[in-house]
Structure 1
Amino acid sequence: MNVMKSCTIIMNSIQVPYPFLVKSSKTFPASFKCKSSDEKRSNEALPGIVDEQVQELLSKKENKLLLDGLQKASQRVEMAKAGLALIQEQEFIVKQFKDYVNQLEGKVSEIVECQREISEAKALVEEAERSLLLNVGGAEDGASKGMKGEVIDRDEERWESVKAASISALVGTFSGLPICFTHVTDTTQLLLPFAINFISCALFGVTFRYTVRRNLDDVQLKTGVAAAFGVVKGLATLGGGPLLEPNFESFLLQAQNGTVYVLESLFIFAFSAVALDYCLKTRLLSTFPIDKS
């Protein structure tokens, strides 16, 4: 609209807030009117008036002092914040240092414990070394004194082994004579089986004594030794006979002959084992090692 309009601006009172208010409130006139040619100028008039009033308030000395104090207070607040941040950082560093010190103290205690264990281990090793030296020294001192007795013990062991071989050979050979007579037609043919039985039973006697030792009540051990010798001798006898032919009759014949030879050998060594067991229990023959008690 091009027509001049009138606008009336009424301000009852404009009061400047703290800190611009020092002693009393600044009151503007109760009302004033301004006329402008258009609405735009009327809207720009009020900010200009407010700016003038603000500049007027700021130009006063007491307000300048308040602003300066406010700026200084703001600076002090910023400095206090910076100091607080520095203190917090230092406290964090101190806390880390304390944690590190605690870790070091823990490591020190572990090191002390390890050193104590090492010292105890060294003491045990030294004690063991001293005991070993004493034992070795005592053994060396007693070696020369007991050498003669050791030789005598070995001689006694050899003599007992000879006795065991003789008993086993005699009993086994004579118990095998009936079996030998079934395989020969002339007495001159007894020489070879007689010698084989004598040597086998002699070896059995020595082995029986060294195997059984002092386990005179172990029936399985004694029968096991006799069975082992019987099976080996029977199979050896079978191996000296005719060769196995690739047919069922030959296989059956060899199995039958092998069974017979094994049973005959078991019969011979069983008698030898019974004789040796009797001699050991009656102390006619000493066990291995010789019990001098």
Structure 2
Amino acid sequence: MHSALLRSLHSLPLPLLLSKRQLHFQARCSSSNSEELEPGSRGMELFSGLVGERVEELLRREENKALIEGLDEASRRVEKAREELKSVRKQRDEALKAREYMRQLESQQAEIEESQKELLEAKIMMEEAQKSLSSTFNAKTTGETSNNLERVESIKAAVISSTVGTLASLPISLSQATEFSELILHSSVVLISCALFGVTFRYAVRRDIDNIQLKTGTAGAFGFVKGLAGFEVANSLELSTDGLISSSVAGAISVAQNVFIFLFAAIALDFCFKMRFLSPFPIRD
């Protein structure tokens, strides 16, 4: 503020600034020999003192109070502007720090989301693996259970066929056997043959239980094979007309007897299929 007043005073003429008392003081100081100062130094000191007094006089005047107050107000505004500038800079720095912090948070959030995605994929893979293992185990268990059930049904078919076939063959065995051991042997052969026939009949007919040609054809095939095999063992072929006729009749009787036995076994199995006492192959769930 004083510097502004000094600049305004420098523009005024020097005589206006100097009063008579000040000029007298200047003359007296210049004539004094007690001070050993250079002329330039004494002039500067004199001028500074005069200017200071003039400034104080100007400051005490009423018309300069408004100027002084304006200067004070301007100074306060400058200080306030500086404070606001500092505050703005501080806020800018804080905003930059907050932006950097937000960027770090976003980066961490992206990493967390990526980790969660990987965990979800791993969880899905684990669930699929568990389902695969469970389905494999269930399929294996189901397959083993199904195989066991099929074996049970085959055993049932063998038991039914062998029982009915053996009972049907008893009249034939009693008519042909001369000894008890021969009866036991013939019945044992029929029992084993009919047991095999029962298992084969179940697998051959499967679920086509209404196909009469298939059922009778299976029984006829077993009867022909067993009848011809038994005839071959029990008889020898004679190369004569009577021998050929006799062998043919004996072979036909043997085949007919065995076909009769297997037909009874087939009828019993078919009846059990239709009564649901025996399940055709394969078993349905």
For this structure pair, what is the TM-score category when the shorter chain's length is used for normalisation?
A: 0.5 to 0.7
Gapped runs of 5+ residues in structure 1?
A: 1-137
Q: Calculate the aligned-residue CA RMSD, in Å.
A: 1.7
Paired position in structure 2 for 1:90: none
2:191 pairs with 1:198? yes
For residue 189 of structure 1, report the CA deviation from its aligned partner. 2.0
Secondary structure, in 3 states, of the residue corresponding to 2:141?
A: helix
The one-letter code sitting in structure 2 at the alignment partner of 1:158 is R
| Alignment partners' CA distance in 2, 1:227 and 1:157 | 25
Amino acid at match of 1:151: E
Give the counterpart letter for 2:170 in structure 1: L
Deviation at 1:139, TM superposition (A): 7.7
Question: Aligned equivalents of 1:153 and 1:179: distance in 2?
Answer: 39
How many corresponding residue pairs? 156
Structure 1 residue 184: Cα displacement: 1.3
Q: 1:139 to 1:247 in 2, by over 3 A?
A: farther
Quote the Cα distance in structure 2 between the aligned partners of 1:234 and 1:189: 17
* Alpha-carbon spacing, 1:156–1:227, altered in 2? closer, same or farther (3 Å): same
- Confirm whether residue 145 of structure 1 aligns to residue 138 of structure 2: yes
Q: 2:156 aligns with which of 142, 163, 166?
A: 163
Give 1:121-140 correspondences, 5 Å limit: none
- Alignment partner, residue 275 of structure 2: 282
TM-score, reference length from structure 1: 0.51
TM-superposed CA distance for 1:141, in Å, is 6.7
* Whole-angstrom distance in 2 between the partners of 1:290 and 1:226: 23
Q: Deviations over 1:226-283 (max 9, x none)?
A: 0000000100011102221221211111100000000000110011000000000110
**Superposition TM-score, scaled by structure 2 size:** 0.53
Q: Tell me the equivalent position of 1:291.
A: 284
Where does residue 226 of structure 2 map in the other structure?
Answer: 233
Q: What is residue 212 of structure 1 aligned with on the other side? A: 205
Which residue among 262, 270, 285 is the counterpart of 1:269? 262
Segments of 5+ residues of structure 2 without an aligned counterpart are 1-130
CA distance in 2, matches of 1:253, 1:144: 63
Deviation, 1:223, is 0.4
- Tell me by how many angstroms 1:140 deviates: 7.6
- Which structure dedicates a bigger proportion of its chain to helix? 2
Segments of 4+ moved more than 3 angstroms? 138-141
Q: Which residue of 2 aligns with 1:82?
A: none
Q: Please, which of 177, 182, 195 is the counterpart of residue 170 of structure 2?
A: 177
Q: Whose Rg is larger? A: 2
Of stretches 142-151 and 279-288 in structure 1, the one that deviates more from structure 2 is 142-151
Separation in 2 of the partners of 1:202 and 1:145? 33
CA distance in 2, matches of 1:238, 1:169: 21
CA distance in 2, matches of 1:140, 1:147: 10
Distance verdict in 2 for CA 1:139–1:220, change over 3 Å: farther
